[in-house]
Every structure is written in structure tokens, then in C-alpha cells.
Amino acid sequence: MNTVWHDYSKVDTQKGTAVAIGNFDGLHLGHRKLMDMLAKVAKEHDLPSVIYTFEKHPINVIKGEYTLPLIADNTYKQELLANCEADTLFFEDFASVKDLSPQDFVRDILVNKLNMKIAVVGRHNHYGKDSAGDVKLLRELGQEYGFAVYMIEPLYFGDFVCSSSKVRELIAEGEIEKANELLGHPFKISNVVVKDKMLGRTLGFPTANMIPDKALLLPKNGVYGTNTLAGGKRYPSITNVGAALTVSEGEPVRIETYIIGFEGDLYGQTLEVEFLTKIRDTEHFDGLDSLKSQLEKDVETRLEEK
């Protein structure tokens, strides 16, 4: 996949393109359905395929940075989209197009710059200033400018739609297993390991600690069964989200991971933590002995999981 940031000259548009349009935060199964259609129609019409998305989420540009916590940062988003068989992943600078009317956005960006011949969108896709454009208008503009529109119906899980909003809600509530079901892959957080008080080491549970990126969504405070990629290998682990796993209170939110079976120094390295299950809520411990006893139970619970 060719990843392009803002520069239309780096996109192969000579014979036209098939374009999937959206934010694709987290790349859930509904997004995957849309990507499958993009790959199918691009192949059928012998067109290069383009995933058109945004460097910053539109809500965070319009309403202010950190307004909407993200399921995936751009690095992880790029990693996920790289598996979708598209030729080009295009990150747009949303600030540069946010004031275009729906008609101008379609004409000036999708048609004139991307030479779009096929648009692939979800039923609830909106575009242009104030999100005023919809699929009906897109089809009308397609007749005017000579492109076809493929609309993907929403993917339902029971009585709710698979959406980034629903995934965020589930993660924020600590419902990791349900969120992962909608995502089709584990929710993951990556960051650099920082030095801390090293209390866990004295208890026999040395933790790799990360300060979470405030732009990203965090699960509800608690202890989770996780997998951690360290040193090129995936290990079972337990991860605490919240204040430090100590007897103190009032400390800033952090992510502390005990990697089962790992020995070594991870300071300064980037760690990838995949969240699988919720083990328990956050608890306050009266002393180190009770904390150590609980951690032993948490590890046992994690190892009993598949």
C-alpha cells in the first residue's frame, strides 16, 4: 500500500480511481465490509483503489483537540488499513477542506484531484461543510460528474449498529470482549515505556509502565487480561489502567503491565498492549501483602484464559 499525506500528485489517478471515504477510526467490522466492497469493485473495473481518510478526526478539528478520544492513532490506523488490499491510503488535512460545500468537496477534491470513477461509502456517510452532504446528493453528483456510487448497508450486532461510536462506548465501559467482537481484532494501546517507582519489582511483579496519549481512548479503570508484544514476541500479561497499583491514591492515570514470563529491560522501548478481557475493577489495598495476593490471583486468572 502506498501511504500519502496531503499530496495528490503522489496518487495514481491517470485512468480514474475507486475511492472509499470515511474516518475509519478503529477499523471495525462495518468498515471491513466497506473495504471488501472497495477491493471488489476496483478489481472488476480495473481501477486503482484509494482509501480517503483524515489525519485528524473532523470533530477534533471543529470542536477542539481531544474532544473525541480516538480508538487508534494514525500509526495503528495505517497498520490496520494496510491489510485491506487498497493501492493507496490517503490522509487528508481536514482543515483544508472543512469549509467546502458538499458540492465543492466532491467536484474539487474527489473528481478533479482524485479522478474518482467509483465512490464506496456507508449509508450514513456525510461530507462537506457542516456534514451537509449525504448519499442521495452523492448519487446526484455522480450523474453530473460521471462516477458510480456503491452504498454499504450498516452491519448489525443484535439490535445495534457496528459503529466507532458503539466501540468507544464499550471500551469506555470496560466491555473489552464486546468491543473486540465489533472490531474484529483486539483493542490495542502502544507507547514508550517510562521509569516509575518500581514498587512492582519489590513485590515480584515488575511492570512496564506507560503514560497514555491523551488523544486516545482508554478503557475504564481496572485490571485487564492482555497480550503484550515485547522483544518481537507476544506474551500473556495483566494490565492495570488507572492510578498506580499501590496503596496510594490520587496519582495520574497510567498503564502498568506485568508481562508473564518476560525478563529484561524495556525502558525507552515502544510496547504494544492488546486488551482481551476485563479481570476486575480497581481496588484499594490496605497493604502490600494484600496487593501481592491479589496480583497472584490476577495472573492465575489470565493464565486460565485462552
Q: What is the pLDDT of residues 25-82, one digit of tens each?
A: 999 999 999 999 999 999 999 999 999 999 999 999 999 999 999 999 999 999 999 9
Supply the pLDDT for residue 306.
63
> pLDDT under 50 in the chain at which residues?
247
pLDDT per position as a tens digit, 274-289: 999 999 998 877 778 8
Beta strands 254-259 and 88-92, pairing class: unpaired
The C-alpha atoms of residue 212 and residue 210 are separated, in whole angstroms, by 6
Domain ranges, ordered by start, for the chain: 2-160, 186-304
**H or E element at residue 121:** strand 116-122
Q: What is the pLDDT of residue 182?
A: 97
Q: What's the confidence (pLDDT) of residue 244?
A: 61
Residue 263: the pLDDT is 86
**Domain 2-160 has what CATH class?**
alpha beta
Predicted confidence at residue 195, as pLDDT, reads: 80
- 186-304: CATH topology is Elongation Factor Tu (Ef-tu); domain 3 (2.40.30)
Q: So what's the pLDDT on residue 142?
A: 98
* Model pLDDT, residue 285: 77
Q: How many CB atoms lie within 10 A of CB 152?
A: 22
pLDDT given for residue 110 in this prediction: 98
pLDDT at 2: 92
Calculate the dihedral angle through the C-alpha atoms of 7, 21, 133, 109, rounding to the nearest 10 degrees.
20
Position 198 scores a pLDDT of 59
Residue 201 near residue 277, CB atoms below 8 Å? no
